[in-house]
Chains A and B, each alone.
Chain A
């Protein structure tokens, strides 16, 4: 199995079973993926009900752990490769990304008004480039750099997934960054509302600060709730404004990768070459977003369809992270080293300070 999550030619099977038994192994593989996906979905619904602190742990954690467990067990039994046919990270991830596009209502950017949009653009661009240059300074690999910058600047897990699709990252890199996002979100969820109260910020400023800084949507909701109802409302709007721009960032990142990073020395890629190497899911993402925005804004379809699309997206992302866990290499994680943790710490500190300044100027 390839260690790149997202190459389009990821091998289906390393050792081919006997022709007559192929279908039996494929069916068994599909069954394993479905059962593990359902188990992860159940854990994701059930565990947060046990304690408030556990709410911030999102599905990628359960999915990667179950995938790792299943991979280890099947490896011991000697059937991991034969049962690996349906652990298709690329397919699940990119289908989930098209569905993510469908849940982003472009009209909301306009509805939030200029304040939300200005805040989102300032935060995304400043934090993205700060993280990018700090990571370069610390010698972090290019693809990992893109994932780190996107996840801190936009919206954590979803942004890391989108960036991984745009730059064809390794599955270990995505698992690493997702782990960092969740690890950092947990203390911020409690510390930031406490700091906002201590600083005497108004609910509007506190909400804008929380929404502009904390990466994962679940932790933003948690932190907003701890502060006040008004802070929760503003924080959710600020976060949604950033999420809405994820397609723009994915498009630019994919284009940059094809035109600049992967360019052969001394050659200018042709339009056809750019088209061929450009990740097509970005087009599906944008098309789905435009279609759903049009039909829901005009009242042709109830806006409640977004809930179903969101749930569907989660199923695909769960299957994707299970597949990541299934084929995860600890060597790949070790290769990434400690530097990404340093980058994430510096980027989060920068994000916290800039988000407070922007919130005070725009919402104060």
Chain B
């Protein structure tokens, strides 16, 4: 397997929806805490 292919496979394996949810969730928490995201209905 080529190096690039291996890296891509690793990245796909790491970036499951489980992790994506953690990253997006924490990012949204950071945006709210810093006041960049507010007055959410």
Contact = CB atoms under 8 A, between A and B. Distances in A.
Given A98-B29, A308-B32, A308-B39, A284 B17 contact: no
A197 interface: no
B37 A95 contact: no
A98 B26 contact: yes
Task: Specify which of B19, B29, B33, B41 lies most central, judged by the most chain A CB atoms within 10 Å of its CB.
Answer: B29
A40 B36 CA distance: 25
B18 A292 contact: no
B25 to A, nearest CB: 3
Contact of A95 (B16, B24, B39, B41): B24
A281 B28 contact: no
Given A301-B33, A308-B32, A308-B40, A8 B17 contact: yes
A279 B31 CA distance: 24
Interface of A: 8-10, 41, 88, 90-91, 93-99, 102, 279-281, 283-284, 287-288, 291-292, 295, 301, 305, 308-309, 311-312, 315
Contacts of A287: 26
A94 B18 contact: yes
B17 A90 contact: yes
Interface string B2-41: 0000000000000011111110111011001100011111
Contacts of B38: 308
A287 B20 CA distance: 15
A317 B13 CA distance: 25
A280 B39 contact: no
A9 B32 contact: no
Tier of interface size on chain B: 10 to 19
Contacts of B19: 280
A98 B39 contact: no
A304 B20 CA distance: 27
Given A90-B17, A281-B18, A308-B39, A288 B32 contact: no
A97 B39 contact: no
Given A91-B20, A102-B32, 5 more contacts: A90-B17, A90-B18, A93-B21, A284-B26, A291-B33
B35 to A, nearest CB: 8
A99 B22 contact: no
A72 to B, nearest CB: 26
A9 B16 contact: yes
Given A8-B18, A91-B17, A99 B40 contact: no
Nearest to A302: B35
A95 B26 CA distance: 8
A292 B29 contact: yes
A99 B16 contact: no
Given A9-B16, A308-B38, A309-B32, A288 B21 contact: no
B21 to A, nearest CB: 3
Nearest to B30: A291
Contacts of B24: 91, 95, 98
Contact of A97 (B25, B28, B33, B41): B25
Contacts of B40: 308, 311-312, 315
B28 A312 contact: yes
Contacts of A98: 21-22, 24-26, 28-29
Contacts of A99: 25, 28-29
Contact of B22 (A94, A295, A305, A311): A94
Contact of A91 (B21, B26, B28, B29): B21
Given A98-B29, A309-B29, A283 B22 contact: yes
10 contacts: A8-B16, A10-B17, A90-B17, A94-B22, A95-B25, A99-B29, A102-B29, A288-B29, A291-B29, A308-B32
A280 B23 CA distance: 10
A209 B33 CA distance: 35
